[in-house]
Structure 1
Amino acid sequence: MGIRQRIVPLAAALALTGGLTAVATAPALAAGPKAGQTTGTAAADGTYLYFKKNQSNPGDSRLYLMKSLRNAKDKVLAKYRAGAGDGGPNSKNECASSQGWLPNGTYQVLAHDEHYNGGDQGINGKVIHVEDKVCENGRTTRAELFVHSEMWPEGSQADRQPGKDNPYRWDGPDDYRSLGCIKLNPAHITNLFAKAGQYGWPTKLKVAG
């Protein structure tokens, strides 16, 4: 999530927007590829998201839009630089709520929205919401997990404020930092929404690395 904003309950955020666009459940999907590669076969045609963690630089990880095929290797439809983690010492600790990146595993994509209004939590505009996940310690649940960028709810950018980092404007590479969500720059999340509209909305997110 946006590194400078507090988390608010999803119910409150949904009340502001009237809800997200729900995504239907789909058959189980194949595991994601190694970075930049395709792999395996899937049970049925469909699309999914695959987040590949970069252990040396969490803010320079990759998000893939994948196509699963019945009798062929999964196909990369698009790939984007993506960040997760707040840039601090706990960025790679999946059990550090609001600091670390997402736990490894497969997530259901719950909903997507082009004009989400998350208020002061810093999640606005184009967002994809995924389910909560219990991290590797078996006790900590990571919640309020999104793929998002930095923009106003209608998708525009705030005015630049010299010397200040605006949560409604993409100011540069430091904006790949988050409170645990996956972040893309505005152009890339716009492209992802277009590709998902073209090829079919993903119903799963696979996180590995």
Structure 2
Amino acid sequence: MAIRQRIVVPAAALALTGGLAAAEASTATAAQPASERTTAAAADGGTYLYFDKNQSNPGNSRLYLMRSIPDAKDQVLAKYRAGSGDEGPNGKDECASSQGWLPNGTYQVLAHDAHYNGGDLGVNGKVIHVEDKVCENGRTTRAELFVHSEMWPEGSQASPEPGKDSPYRWEGSDDYRSLGCIKLKPADIDHLFTKAGQAGWPTKLKVVS
């Protein structure tokens, strides 16, 4: 499968989605009785994403939605097969821009959007955007990093075209390959958005190997 070029996301669009997400969260919190908000805040420390790289098969790595529990073991809320990086010689080189998988470390989640339009051959539909990260060489910055799938901006799948790999349709396991982003199949990113909406949107992504 040919690896497709990434689309740079306009900063204004990210600011908009981040603002919408914050407004939605504020509205939902305000609707809760004060006693319930206090109890919830004391009971847990929020949610985060945890990506565990598979050294033997990067396309069969794991992404977890986790709940942080103060003074206790963190709770797994959901678990998905995920991929990051391509299958070439640099697929596991975190400093190989547009080839290698994500650098290890902790990332801030910048925004999420259920109907993102990244343009032709871009990142579309349900996306979670995370901050840029300087890789282990201290010089190379990996940028425009997302958790995403392959779909139209509104979330549907393109019609199949024999012999053609569409960026708007999930054809199979080869689609777990990416230019550094974390990719899920459509059903799994749909489930992740539902779970995150219920449990609270993650504010961080932790990447380990």
Greater share of residues in helix? 2
1:193-208 superposed matches below 5 A? 193-208=193-208
Match in the other structure for 1:8: 7
Show the counterpart of 1:164. Answer: 164
Give per-residue Cα distances to partners, 1:107-156, cap 9 Å, x unaligned: 00000000000002420000000000000000000000000000000000
Deviations 1:140-179 (A, max 9, x none): 0000000000000000000001111111000000000001
Amino acid at match of 1:141: T
Maintained 8 Å contact 2:49/2:206: yes
Take 2:15 and 2:89, find their aligned partners in 1: how far apart are those partners? Answer: 37
Larger-Rg structure: 2
For 2:121 and 2:11, the matched residues in 1 are separated by 11
CA distance in 2, matches of 1:3, 1:51: 24
**C-alpha separation between the residues in 1 aligned to 2:86 and 2:52?**
17
C-alpha distance in 2, partners of 1:129/1:7? 13
Please give the alpha-carbon distance, in whole angstroms, between the structure 2 residues aligned to 1:186 and 1:137: 34
Match of 2:185 in 1: 185
User: 1:34-66: CA deviations, max 9, x gaps?
Assistant: xxxxxxxxxx51100000000000000000000
Aligned length: 188
Deviation at 1:3, TM superposition (A): 6.0
1:39 alignment counterpart: none
The alignment-based identity, stated in percent, is 74
* 95-104 or 119-128, larger mean C-alpha shift: 119-128
- Tell whether the 8 Å contact from 2:83 to 2:178 is kept in structure 1 after alignment: yes
Do the aligned partners of residues 162 and 18 (structure 1) sit closer, same or farther apart at CA in structure 2, a change above 3 Å counting?
Answer: farther
User: Is 1:20 the counterpart of 2:20 in the alignment?
Assistant: no
Contact in 1 for aligned 2:6/2:123 (Cα 8 Å): no
Q: How far apart in 1 are the matches of 2:100 and 2:16?
A: 27
Deviations 1:11-40 (A, max 9, x none): 2783xx88323566xxxxxxxxxxxxxxxx
Q: Give the corresponding residue for 1:71.
A: 71
TM-score (norm 2): 0.85
Structure 2 stretches lacking a partner, 5+ long: 23-43
Looking at structure 2, the residues matched to 172 and 13 of structure 1 have their Cα atoms a distance apart, in angstroms, of 33
Q: Specify the alignment match of 1:85 in structure 2.
A: 85
Structure 1: gaps (5+ residues): 25-43
Cα distance in structure 2, aligned partners of 1:9 and 1:193: 23
Following the alignment from structure 1 to structure 2, what is the Cα–Cα distance between the partners of residues 68 and 18? 26
Aligned-residue RMSD, C-alpha? 2.0
Distance 1:12 1:74, change over 3 A: closer
Contact 1:125–1:154, Cα closer than 8 Å, also in 2: yes
